[in-house]
Amino acid sequence: MDFFIGHYNYWVVVFLMMVGLYTVISRGNLIKKIIGLSMFQVSVFFLYISMGTVEGGAAPIIAEGVKVYSNPLPHVLILTAIVVGVATTALALALVVRIKESYGTIEEDEIHELDHSL
């Protein structure tokens, strides 16, 4: 029971990761793939932040009367990762707009057909 309470967090995070991965590899619409990739990224951030929390700890900002702080290093890493993630998503969406303008569709199967028939 202790083991379950200590670990269910990680299992839900793995479930979210797998849902994101399934969206990327099994759906054909390009915008849905990008959303699945974003979901995968956010669940990876959860994994890191949950490994950095300390029970009964406070946010890592020095204040009076606080003795236990959470680990500040995963916060730094994830802050950088979030900003890089949004830069990648913006670039992917710009590519989707250009693909729509030159192929006329954003479904992966139809793009394959158009490519093979040219």
Partner 1 sequence: MKPNLILHVVAKFLIPLIIVFALYVQFHGDFGPGGGFQAGVIFSAALILYALVFGLDAAEKIIPSHILRILASLGLVIYAGVGVATLLLGGNYLDYNTLGSTQIGGQHLGILLVELGVGITVAAVMLIIFFAFAGRGRA
Partner 2 sequence: MIDMIINVTLLAFLAITSVAIVRMTNLFAIVMLFGIFSLLSAGLFVVMDAPDVAFTEAAVGAGISTVLMLATLALTKNRQKPYYAEAPHAHRPWLPLIVVAITGGALVYGTWDIPGFGDPNAPAQTHVARYYIENAPLETGVPNIVTAVLASYRGFDTLGEVAVVFTAGVAVLLLIGGRRSKSIVKPKSEGEQDET
Q: Which residues bind partner 1 (CB under 8 A)?
A: 59, 61, 79, 83, 90, 93-94, 97
3-class state of residue 106 by DSSP: coil
Least Cβ distance, residue 64 to partner 1 (angstroms): 13
Q: What is the DSSP letter of 21?
A: H
Tokens (6 digits) for 110: 């139809």
Shortest distance, CB of residue 15 to partner 1, whole angstroms? Answer: 29
Identity of the amino acid at 99 = I
Q: Which of partner 1, partner 2, none is residue 16 near (CB under 5 to 8 Å by kind)?
A: partner 2
Residue 4's alpha-carbon distances to 36, 96, 114, in angstroms, are 28, 42, 51
19 or 79: whose CB is closer to partner 1? 79
Closest by Cα among 49, 37, 23, 22 to 90: 37
DSSP state of 117: H
Among partner 2, partner 1, none, what does residue 26 contact (CB within 5–8 Å per kind)? partner 2
C-beta closer to partner 2: residue 19 or 65: 19
Q: Pick from partner 1, partner 2, none: which does 10 bind, CB < 5 to 8 A by kind?
A: partner 2
Distance CA 33, CA 27 (A): 7
Query: CB of residue 87 vs partner 2: minimum separation in angstroms?
Result: 4
**Minimum gap (Å) between residue 25 Cβ and partner 2:** 5
